[in-house]
Structures are given as structure tokens and as C-alpha cells.
């Protein structure tokens, strides 16, 4: 089977599409850059993309690969109806996101986010004796123990933290002392210093963290969201932060991205905002290229694709 692979311009939201094209020069496929909208006359077999466009459905594609783990904007049933296979890039972000989360936790524990805010005004503000703490001996609950969650748990455990987690199946997970089911979420978050959300966005997880969960957290606890924005009820989170019912939040994802300038989250000293960047790493293109290369080989050989969603 001859494969013609297209690289969509939306890949440029992460790295240059031409860079991926050069990395796939030895793939079992002809690799070309595409326009925003696809045309069936271009005869692409597969497409590598960040985002979705309705033109994909009628372009004669057999396969679409998403260069991120999330695929919630892709119409799965419609893709099935058009007999288009969808694969994603889950499994490659555990180390980058794990390290980013530890960075958030260290900022809050050591007060680093406050010192950074004081630099522009040349303010010398040592902390009060009880303003900072160490991660060693502290507790974290990781909600979602897939690739991201396991990467977070391993690093938190290495720093001496007590690690619990929430997942649908009771299977043991390395570096996690206590596991809860989704129905035990309130209990899971009730007595930990950090709650880290790392679940995919589904009908079940949308607004999983709302007012009830936030109210169940300790008033000295911090929320970290590296999942998807809609997993957390952002309005309820703002209310919890304003009322000091939780101590702070580190947020890499939001209900609307980019985060609108008028969002109150920008102005809160106890909130760390990052631009959906927790998975960013200079090695990202290499990891995507390896996945696409392997799936191109499998497609040509008639084998089942890795990370197949549809």
C-alpha cells in the first residue's frame, strides 16, 4: 500500500510542520505539507494534525493522527461513519508533565511564585516563619493514573511525598500508596495538601472538580490542573480562591484558551497560570515522528495502529 501523508498547518501550534516533515523523510510514505482545508483531489492517505476541520471528512483520508493526547473536538462517531481511523499521542507526555507538576508544587511549597512577582518592583520580602514548607512528608492526590498521572506519582514519591490516586480500576499503581474509585473522589481530596487533576476530558469527567469537590479540600490545599480546562468548573474555582476555601491553584488548561485578559485568574497572587505548556519539550517533535513513522509502517502493512482511538 502506497501512503501519502499530509501534515496540517495546525501542527505549528506546537512545532514547525516542516520540521516534522524532515524527520519523516525515511518513513514508508510520501510526506507533504497541506493547506488548512483539505481536498479529495490531493489524495492523502493519512493526516497529522493538531486541530480538526470538517474538510477532513470528505478528503478521502484513511487515517488521522493527533499530535496531542486530547481529541475531544474530533467527532468520533462521524469519523467511524466515514471509516477514518483516529490515533492520538498519549503515552509521550509523562515525563514533561510530571516535571511541570513538580515545578508547580515546589513554587507553592517554597513560595517561589511570590518572589517572582516581587522582582519587577525590587521588593525584598522574606517569608514569615510559617509561610513555606517542604514537599518531603506532604501529601498529594493524583486524579487520573494514566501516563500523566503515573509520571506525576513517580516524581512525587521520589521527593518523599505521600501519594494517593483516583482511577476507575483497582489495579495497583507503582508509587501510589492508596487508590480510590471515582465515586470516592470527595474522600480522596479531603485530607491532602495537593490535588492534581490528570484525567482525559470525557462526558464523565467534565466539571468533575466543581464546588462540592473544592469544598471538600483543605483550606491549605492547592489544586493543579494539567488535564483539560472543562474538567474543572472554572467559576466554582474562582469562588473557592476568592473565599480562601483553598490556598491556591496552578492551571495549565482553561475552559477558554487562550485565557481571556479579563479573567480574574490573571490577577490572583496565589494562582500560577501557564499557557497549556506542561507537555512542552524540545524532544516533542522526535516523539511525534516516532509514533507517526511506526503507524505509517503499520498502515502500509495492514496492521492495527498504535494509540488507536477510532
CATH number at residue 85: 3.40.50.720
Taking residue 277's Cβ as centre, other Cβ atoms within 10 Å add up to 12
Count up the domains in the chain and report the number. 2
DSSP the chain: ---EEEE-GGGGGTS-HHHHHHHTTTSSSEEEE--SS--GGG--SEEEESS--GGGGGTT-SEEEESSS--TTS-HHHHHHTT-EEE--TTS-HHHHHHHHHHHHHHHHHTHHHHHHHGGGT---PPPTTS---STT-EEEEE--SHHHHHHHHHHHHTT-EEEEE-SS----TT-SEEE-GGGHHHHHTT-SEEEE-PPP-TTTTT-B-HHHHHHS-TT-EEEE-S-GGGB-HHHHHHHHHTTSS-EEEES--SSSSPPTT-GGGG-TTEEE--S-TT--TTHHHHHHHHHHHHHHHHHHTPPPTTB--
CA distance 47 to 37: 12
Question: What pLDDT is recorded for position 244?
Answer: 98
148 and 174 inside one domain = yes
In a domain, 199, yes or no: yes
173 and 251 inside one domain = yes
202 and 295 inside one domain = no
61 and 86 inside one domain = yes
32 and 151 inside one domain = no
Residue closest to 33 by CA, chosen among 53, 10, 62, 64: 10
Give me the residues of the chain with pLDDT under 70, please: none
55 and 166 inside one domain = no
Question: What pLDDT is recorded for position 187?
Answer: 98
In a domain, 60, yes or no: yes
Question: What pLDDT is recorded for position 286?
Answer: 97
In a domain, 243, yes or no: yes
Residue closest to 189 by CA, chosen among 180, 177, 198: 180
In a domain, 119, yes or no: no
Asked whether 40 and 59 are in contact (CB, 8 A), the reply is: yes
142 and 265 inside one domain = yes
Question: What pLDDT is recorded for position 2?
Answer: 84
In a domain, 47, yes or no: yes
141 and 237 inside one domain = yes
β-pair type (222-225, 248-251):
parallel
Question: What pLDDT is recorded for position 197?
Answer: 98
CA distance 285 to 227: 21
187 and 253 inside one domain = yes
CA distance 141 to 192: 7
171 and 264 inside one domain = yes
Which structural domain, as residue segments, surrounds residue 157? 134-273
10 and 84 inside one domain = yes
Question: What pLDDT is recorded for position 1?
Answer: 75
242 and 293 inside one domain = no
In a domain, 202, yes or no: yes
Q: What are the residue numbers of the active site? A: 228, 257, 276
Question: What pLDDT is recorded for position 28?
Answer: 82
In a domain, 115, yes or no: no
CA distance 144 to 232: 13
Amino acid at each position: 500500500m502506497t501512503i501519502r501523508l499530509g501534515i496540517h498547518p495546525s501542527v505549528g501550534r506546537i512545532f514547525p510542520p516542516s520540521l516534522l516533515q524532515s524527520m519523516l523523510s525515511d518513513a514508508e510514505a510520501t510526506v507533504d505539507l497541506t493547506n488548512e482545508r483539505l481536498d479529495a483531489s490531493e489524495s492523502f492517505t493519512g493526516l497529522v494534525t493538531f486541530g480538526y476541520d470538517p474538510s477532513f471528512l470528505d478528503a478521502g483520508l484513511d487515517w488521522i493522527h493527533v499530535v496531542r493526547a486530547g481529541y475531544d473536538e474530533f467527532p468520533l462517531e462521524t469519523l467511524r461513519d466515514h471509516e477514518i481511523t483516529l490515533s492520538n499521542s498519549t503515552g509521550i507526555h509523562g515525563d514533561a508533565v510530571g516535571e511541570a507538576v513538580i515545578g508547580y508544587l515546589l513554587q507553592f511549597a517554597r513560595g517561589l511564585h511570590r518572589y517572582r512577582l516581587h522582582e519587577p518592583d525590587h521588593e525584598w520580602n522574606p517569608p514569615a516563619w510559617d509561610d513555606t514548607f517542604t514537599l518531603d512528608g506532604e501529601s498529594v492526590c493524583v486524579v487520573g493514573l494514566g501516563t500523566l498521572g503515573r509520571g506525576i506519582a513517580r516524581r512525587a514519591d521520589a521527593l518523599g511525598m505521600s501519594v494517593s490516586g483516583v482511577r476507575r480500576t483497582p489495579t495497583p499503581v507503582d508509587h501510589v500508596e492508596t487508590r480510590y474509585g471515582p465515586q470516592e473522589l470527595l474522600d480522596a481530596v479531603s485530607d491532602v495538601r495537593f490535588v492534581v487533576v490528570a484525567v482525559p476530558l470525557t462526558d464523565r469527567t467534565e466539571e468533575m472538580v466543581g464546588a462540592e469537590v473544592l469544598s471538600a479540600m483543605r483550606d491549605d490545599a492547592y489544586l493543579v490542573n494539567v488535564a483539560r480546562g472543562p474538567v474543572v468548573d472554572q467559576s466554582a474555582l474562582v469562588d473557592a480562591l476568592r473565599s480562601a476555601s483553598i490556598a491556591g491553584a496552578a492551571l495549565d488548561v482553561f475552559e477558554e484558551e487562550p485565557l481571556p485578559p479579563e479573567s480574574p485568574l490573571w490577577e490572583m497572587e496565589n494562582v500560577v497560570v501557564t499557557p497549556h505548556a506542561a507537555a512542552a519539550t524540545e524532544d516533542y517533535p522526535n516523539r511525534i515522528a516516532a509514533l507517526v513513522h511506526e503507524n505509517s509502517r503499520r498502515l502500509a502493512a495492514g496492521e492495527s495502529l498504535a494509540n488507536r482511538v477510532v
